[in-house]
Structure 1
Amino acid sequence: MSWHLFVVFFASTFFISATPGPNMLLAFQYGLNYGVKRTLWTLAGLSLGLFILLLSTLLGLDVISRQSPWLLTVIKTIGALYLIYLGISSWRDTNNSSLMSDASAMSAEVSAELTPNPDRSAKPLPRSLSSAAVKSVPNDWILFRTGMWVSLSNPKAILFFAAFFPKFINFSAPLWPQYIMLTVGLFLSETIWQLIYTIGGKKLAGWLDVGERLAWLNRGCGVIFILIAAALIVDVISTL
């Protein structure tokens, strides 16, 4: 993988990571509820779950590229169609929902599924937290487990990786150095935005919730999806 291609990959993933998906919403809400230091356990869980999904995708692409090259062409074609679908969906996603309300709903849903019973070992909240927050802070293991569960419970991530990554991989060159570069780039962009949502989420939410800024962020991601889909289609046609 050339550095030029890596820069394009990193810029794309960095922009896409900025959108408030499940991982970012959880980091945002937990940062507000429990503080930055405690939420780092959740971020570690999110990262581990993301790594497991990413590794599964890359291993699958590696096996397919070596044993069934024709299937890789099929994956690229389906991936391009899936990215076009994501692009159109992102462009049309102009609902007026608030980032604050979305994050609260996400946190409540996760809490209901993972912690149906109060945790007796939980510590009391700092006085600085609002009374609307949960009444007790989960222990570190629960925070870590919650992050990992949210990451792993998103099977769409595997579909996205399988559709997105082939455009940036040269399957005729050694694969693992490229996999390492892709993994580092993705984790760097995800980690930066997870920290931004955790540390400065309230200010970011206030900025995004003004006018149509969040809608235009979604539209920008939609354009990226469609451009990469077009590049994949060109690759497929050139191999026929």
Structure 2
Amino acid sequence: MSWHLFTIFFVSTFFISATPGPNMLLAFQYGINYGVKRTLWTLAGLSLGLFILLLSTLLGLDVISRQSPWLLEVIKTVGALYLIYLGILSWRDTGHSNLMAEASAVSKEVANLDSSEVFNSSQQPKPRSLSSAAVKVIPSNSKLFRTGVWVSLSNPKAILFFAAFFPKFINFSAPLWPQYIMLTFGLFLSETIWQIIYTLGGKQLAGWLDVGDRLAWLNRACGVIFMLIAAALLAEAISHFIG
């Protein structure tokens, strides 16, 4: 993989990672609730979950590229259509929702799940105030880590995104694993940077993005990236089938 292609990949993932998805919102809210040091355990869990999803995708692409090359072109075509769909959604997302409220909702959703798990395991009624207070109770480091893993793995659409996004930056006629390592490094670098930013300066970042149409323009920029990569994937697939 050339450094030029890697730079394009990193810049693209950096913009995409900046959008406040479930992982970033959880890092944001936990940074406020529990502090930066404790939230590092959650960030580690988010990274592990993301790595599991990414590794599953890359292993699948590796097998398909060696055993069914024609299926790889089908995946590129379907992936391009999926990226077009994501691009349209991103472009139409006005970003008028409040990030503080969204982050709080994500945190409470996780807390409610934890409360239901406690109830199911003990089979004893719990006070109604448990789910609302769960966010305020400081959990153990292992609990913070497991929560990060669960939130990351609970988004299976990430596999669809990886399968749609990564093929554009992979040369399947060259050794794959060196490319996989570079792409994984680039993705995790951009994700880690933004997770730390959301954890350290969540309130300031949320306040800045909630002003005017800034979040909307960030979503539109991501939409353009999705569209451009989709167009490149479709061009590759069409040229392969025609040739």
Same fold (TM over 0.5): yes
Are 2:227 and 1:226 aligned?
Answer: yes
Give 2:16's aligned amino acid. Answer: I
Q: What residue is the counterpart of 1:111 in the other structure? A: 111
Are 2:68 and 1:68 aligned?
Answer: yes
Q: Distance in 2 between matches of 1:180 and 1:36?
A: 28
Q: What residue is the counterpart of 1:89 in the other structure? A: 89
Give 1:234's aligned amino acid. Answer: A
> How much does 1:136 deviate?
1.5
> How much does 1:3 deviate?
0.6
Give 1:190's aligned amino acid. Answer: E
Runs of 4+ in 1 over 4 A off after TM superposition: none
Q: What residue is the counterpart of 2:5 in the other structure? A: 5
Fraction of identical pairs, as percent = 81
Q: What residue is the counterpart of 1:58 in the other structure? A: 58
The size of the alignment, in residue pairs, is: 227
> How much does 1:115 deviate?
3.5
> How much does 1:114 deviate?
2.4
Q: What residue is the counterpart of 1:126 in the other structure? A: none
Q: Distance in 1 between matches of 2:144 and 2:180?
A: 29
* RMSD of aligned Cα (Å): 1.3
Say if 1:33 and 1:133, in contact at 8 Å, map to a contact too. no
1:155-178 C-alpha deviation (Å, 9 max, x unpaired): 000000000000000000000000
> How much does 1:76 deviate?
0.1
Give 1:146's aligned amino acid. Answer: T
> How much does 1:217 deviate?
0.7
Give 1:135's aligned amino acid. Answer: K
Gapped regions of structure 1 (runs ≥ 5): 119-131
Say if 1:114 and 1:146, in contact at 8 Å, map to a contact too. no
Are 2:176 and 1:202 aligned?
Answer: no
Q: What residue is the counterpart of 1:214 in the other structure? A: 215
Q: What residue is the counterpart of 1:176 in the other structure? A: 177
Give 2:9's aligned amino acid. Answer: F
Are 2:87 and 1:98 aligned?
Answer: no
Q: Distance in 1 between matches of 2:191 and 2:226?
A: 17
- The structure where helix makes up a greater share of residues is 2
Give 1:134's aligned amino acid. Answer: V
